[in-house]
Chains A and B, each alone.
Chain A
């Protein structure tokens, strides 16, 4: 991760982008090749590795654990919901600047962004049984993150599934946010949660049993509606996607657009010190939305193809070989 750029190099990148040609031969709206593989770490509930050609390498794992539900002491909400706990860590192998405590700020920023985009439910929720009087007729009860947290609850008010999402950034080649979210979406897609059986002991007491049959698992409901992020970098009067590290250094303003498969906007975050004109802002959001939808479609197709291939291999008794780090 370089931290300085020479004026001539900056000029070169700027003029190139003005002419719609970038240093690596791409045009402004072009994304790099994405290498994606799921199920790379065996002892997790789900995992994925995303690599953008020419650098950025992110490993995401999801672990499902049983824990007590988190109830908001003021509103009393959350008693019937599971939790998602996100954590992003940048390894020093990614950049020399991440050594020691160097990455703390970036880690925190990414963790908070992920928490906000995935698990935070700011919209008023409607539960199917409409137990809460505040519920309105919103059609989507899963919030912006897409995941149906109520399904993760085992015994309301007591126990629930907690999904620990850990993203580990191993290599840095620009466009970190997009890669982290792509990886997270793929890892949640790969996640299988064991089924539970709840027994009513009477007197309002419940007990549950986790079925430890490897075949008897559930997928995370609402995983299709999870958003991915598209980062748009404003350089000069233009904007580009999937910036390389040097292009990131020339960026005046950065806009992260979180979008789901139906094209709904799930989050926005403007970064860096430059400003964006309102008209350009709308154009950028629109562009991010369209690109995000296309990307989701392609990612889903890839994940599905891989999962199908794995199932066929298992049925035929062949070993499922993962490339892991040997995929270059």
Chain B
């Protein structure tokens, strides 16, 4: 791929954003009828649907933990999600890896000891892919878990940041992601500012790491505002309906 100019002389990015600007985020909860909790989230053109089932009886008795619930994450990518049509098998290594990242992110946050001998299933469906799939998956999962009423210590907000040419930038899109920029995804608990996941692709100079981390952390805080608003609006809406 020819190196397109990712940062214009005026300091604007390829889609016209400033380096520390997130894409438009829209989200809603309770979109599915069968699931106990569900959420749909858009980061620009990246679209993810999350469904949560449970806590319920574990499907395989061998996996049961007697003091806590187990988390099970499954990630599917729609065949039409990216530019080229491609069917991914359920055992695609990359998908399994991403599912396990989501699982690891949520294990310390979900208060699993409240639901012993049970299982919580999280199904993620990527409908459209335009960079930042992991962050979108984590954010959608947070909303779906809250919608399902599962006890958590805090929100989990994820955001990516990277180093584009001469500046740190957040929320990279597909073009920026695929032109060999270094990219860090972090997931943060906004109340305590603790980080539950970091993942980095490609290389980055250690001096620049701090700046990238700081920016990603700010992105997470912004994400938190948006997600919290979605949840509060939803709760208010429900409360209003109950009073009528």
Are chains A and B native binding partners rather than an unrelated pairing? yes
- Chain A residues in the interface with B (C-beta under 8 A): 1, 41-44, 47, 54-55, 57, 59, 61, 63, 65, 87, 89, 91-96, 99-101, 164, 166, 168, 170-173, 324-326, 328
CB distance from A52 to the nearest CB of B (A): 10
A171 cross-chain contacts in B, Cβ below 8 A? 31-34
Residue contacts A-B, CB under 8 angstroms, 25 given? A41-B127, A41-B128, A43-B128, A59-B127, A61-B79, A92-B51, A93-B50, A93-B125, A96-B53, A96-B56, A96-B121, A99-B74, A99-B123, A100-B90, A101-B90, A164-B85, A166-B78, A166-B80, A170-B125, A171-B32, A171-B33, A324-B42, A325-B28, A325-B31, A326-B26
* A172 in complex: contacting residue of B26, B34, B74, B83, CB < 8 Å: B34
Task: Assess whether B80 is in contact with A44, with CB atoms less than 8 Å apart.
Answer: yes
- Please measure, in the bound complex, the distance between the C-alpha atom of A54 and the C-alpha atom of B34, giving whole angstroms: 10
CA distance A93 to B147 in the complex (A): 14
Q: Which residues of B contact A93 (CB under 8 A)?
A: 32, 34-35, 38, 49-51, 123, 125
Kindly report which residue of chain B lies nearest to residue A172, judged by CB atoms. B34
Docked CA distance A116–B123 (Å):
31
Residues of A within 8 A of B125 (CB): 91, 93, 168, 170
Q: A59-B78, A92-B121 are in contact. List 10 more A-B contacts (CB 8 A).
A: A44-B80, A47-B80, A55-B34, A63-B85, A87-B79, A89-B79, A164-B80, A166-B80, A173-B34, A325-B49
Contacts of B90 in A (CB 8 A): 100-101
- Total interface residues on B, using CB and 8 Å? 33
The residues of B that contact A1 with a CB separation of less than 8 Å are 34
Measured CA separation A164–B85 after assembly (Å) = 8
In whole angstroms, how far apart are the Cα atoms of A179 and B50 in the complex?
21
User: When chains A and B are docked, how far (Å) is the Cα of A118 from the Cα of B32?
Assistant: 29
Are A43 and B123 also in contact (CB < 8 A) when A92-B76, A93-B38, A171-B32 are?
no
Smallest distance from the beta carbon of A266 to chain B beta carbons, Å? 25
Q: How distant is B136 from chain A, measured CB to nearest CB, in Å?
A: 13
Question: Is B100 close to A, CB under 8 A?
Answer: no
How far is it, in angstroms, between the C-alpha of A325 and the C-alpha of B128 when the chains are bound?
13
Interchain CA distance A101-B76 in the complex, whole Å: 12
- Shortest C-beta distance, A223 to chain B (Å), equals 19
Q: Which residues of B contact A168 (CB under 8 A)?
A: 78, 125, 127
- Quick check: is B87 within 8 A (CB to CB) of the other chain? yes
Proximity bits, B38-56, A CB within 8 Å = 1, else 0? 1010100101011101001
Closest CB in chain A relative to B5 CB, distance in Å: 22
Q: Which residues of A contact B79 (CB under 8 A)?
A: 61, 87, 89, 164, 166
**Closest chain B residue to A59, Cβ basis:** B127
Report the bound CA distance from A101 to B74 in whole Å: 12
Question: Which 9 pairs, one residue from A and one from B, show the smallest C-beta to C-beta distance?
Answer: A93-B51, A61-B80, A92-B123, A325-B40, A55-B33, A171-B32, A93-B123, A63-B85, A166-B79
Instruction: Give B62 Cβ to nearest chain A Cβ, in Å.
Output: 15
A42 to B42 alpha-carbon distance, docked (Å): 13
CA distance A44 to B26 in the complex (A): 21
How distant is the Cα of A166 from the Cα of B76 in the complex, in angstroms? 14
A324 partner residues in chain B, CB cutoff 8 A: 42, 47
